[in-house]
């Protein structure tokens, strides 16, 4: 549940940054229409594909499929996280994304009463982030008994992010997103390795505790890589915690 | 539409090919080793073999990205 909540929360923050940027720079109504359409599209896709995916395959195949998906997400988040911590990549910041998106929209004039440009930007941003949320929840909840905690975690994240959006966008600046994403990358990679191996017939020593020692191992590798590669940041404005 | 498809590909497979190729190789090799090892040996050691290959994929993708940046 914690992994689901954190991963979903980080993704939703990015979607929130886009919707806020569109809403502030153009009209909130168009931003919300685009975002709502994207949410409907993602939910429809997950409802259509999810149950068929989860019920149609045997358990071992499903574990390998879920594990592989989690590994693809987790390793990518870890790779980016290590490069950010090492100063080789701009630090992750939904606030910076918000500013960039707002500036880009400011250079594009509003067309007519219905602002399709704003709606499409909001739709695309929310659809892509929402799809990632859907895949993570389906992957984490794919094993028997895990769907409820995964959905609960996602729901808690949704409430928290909507709360942040309502209270204002200022809290976006204070979140340690780079570290959060690195932590989620470690967790997703550990879960992915665990499920894939189980799907291939492995019995982990200490059972589910294996997720903890796998996470510790991947975190250690990520930390060592970040320390070894560390250079003075090329992105001084984003380097502050 | 092409931009959306490009974003979807990047969403699933990431920004580099090293991770999807590494994961595919790790899972494929693990499946081959499973059929070569005895059941008992694989049950106990297979997880660590897979974890090692995933760790190598991570290190390789970081090394590849850092050498390009």
Question: In this predicted structure, which of A99-103, A152-156, A160-164 has the lowest mean pLDDT?
Answer: A99-103
**Is residue A179 over pLDDT 50?**
yes
Cβ pair B15, B27 in contact under 8 A: no
Range with lowest mean pLDDT among A20-34, A50-64, A165-179, B1-15: A165-179
How would residue A173 be classed by pLDDT, with cut points 50, 70 and 90? low
Mean pLDDT of A73-94: 83
Question: Is the pLDDT at A117 greater than 90, yes or no?
Answer: no
Give residue limits of the domains in chain A.
2-239
Q: Treating both helix axes as pointing N-terminal to C-terminal, what angle do A147-167 and A116-140 enclose, rounded to 10 degrees?
A: 150
B42 contacts on A by Cβ (under 8 Å): 200-202
CA distance A129 to A182: 17
Per-residue tokens: A102: 């707002």
ipTM score assigned to the predicted complex? 0.89
Confidence class of residue A154 from pLDDT cuts 50, 70 and 90? Answer: confident
**What is the number of alpha carbons within 13 Å of residue B46 lying toward its C-beta?**
28
Question: What would the pLDDT profile of A183-213 be if each residue is shown by its tens digit?
Answer: 888 988 998 899 899 889 899 998 888 989 9
Select from B27, B31, B69 the Cβ nearest to the Cβ of A88: B69
In whole angstroms, give the CA distance from residue A101 to residue A24: 10
From chain A, the residues in CB contact with B27 under 8 A are 64, 68, 196, 200
Read off the pLDDT of residues B28-41 as tens digits, 9 standing for 90 and up: 999 999 888 777 88
Whether chain B has a CB inside 8 Å of the CB on A193: the answer is yes
Instruction: Return the DSSP state at A86.
Output: T
Structure confidence at residue A94 (pLDDT): 60
Distance of alpha carbon A226 from alpha carbon A26, whole angstroms? 40
Q: Do A203 and B44 touch (CB under 8 A)?
A: yes
Is A23 in contact with A32 (CB distance < 8 Å)? Answer: yes
> Which residue would you say has higher pLDDT here, A136 or B56?
B56
């Amino acid at each position: 549940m914690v992994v689901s909540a954190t991963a979903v929360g980080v993704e939703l923050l990015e979607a929130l940054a886009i919707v806020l940027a569109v809403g502030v720079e153009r009209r909130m109504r168009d931003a919300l229409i685009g975002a709502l359409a994207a949410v409907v599209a993602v939910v429809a896709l997950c409802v259509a594909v999810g149950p068929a995916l989860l019920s149609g395959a045997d358990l071992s195949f499903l574990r390998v499929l879920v594990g592989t998906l989690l590994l693809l997400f987790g390793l990518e988040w870890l790779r980016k996280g290590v490069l950010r911590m090492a100063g080789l990549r701009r630090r992750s910041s939904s606030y910076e994304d918000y500013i960039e998106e707002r500036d880009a929209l400011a250079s594009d004039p509003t067309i007519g009463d219905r602002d399709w440009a704003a709606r499409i930007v909001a739709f695309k941003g929310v659809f892509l982030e929402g799809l990632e949320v859907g895949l993570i929840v389906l992957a984490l909840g794919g094993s028997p008994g895990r769907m409820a905690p995964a959905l609960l975690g996602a729901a808690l994240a949704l409430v928290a992010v909507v709360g942040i959006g309502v209270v204002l966008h200022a809290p976006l600046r204070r979140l340690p997103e780079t570290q959060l994403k690195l932590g989620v990358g470690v967790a997703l990679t550990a879960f992915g390795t665990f499920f894939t191996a189980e799907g291939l017939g492995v019995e982990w020593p200490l059972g589910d505790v294996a997720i903890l020692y796998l996470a510790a191992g991947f975190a250690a590798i990520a930390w060592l890589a970040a320390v070894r590669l560390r250079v003075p940041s090329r992105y001084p404005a984003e380097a502050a915690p | 539409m092409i931009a959306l498809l490009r974003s979807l590909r990047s969403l699933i497979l990431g920004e580099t090919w090293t991770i999807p190729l590494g994961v595919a190789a790790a899972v494929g090799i693990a499946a081959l080793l499973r059929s070569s090892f005895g059941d008992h040996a694989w049950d106990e050691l297979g997880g660590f073999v897979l974890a090692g290959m995933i760790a190598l994929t991570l290190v390789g993708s970081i090394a590849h990205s850092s050498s390009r940046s």
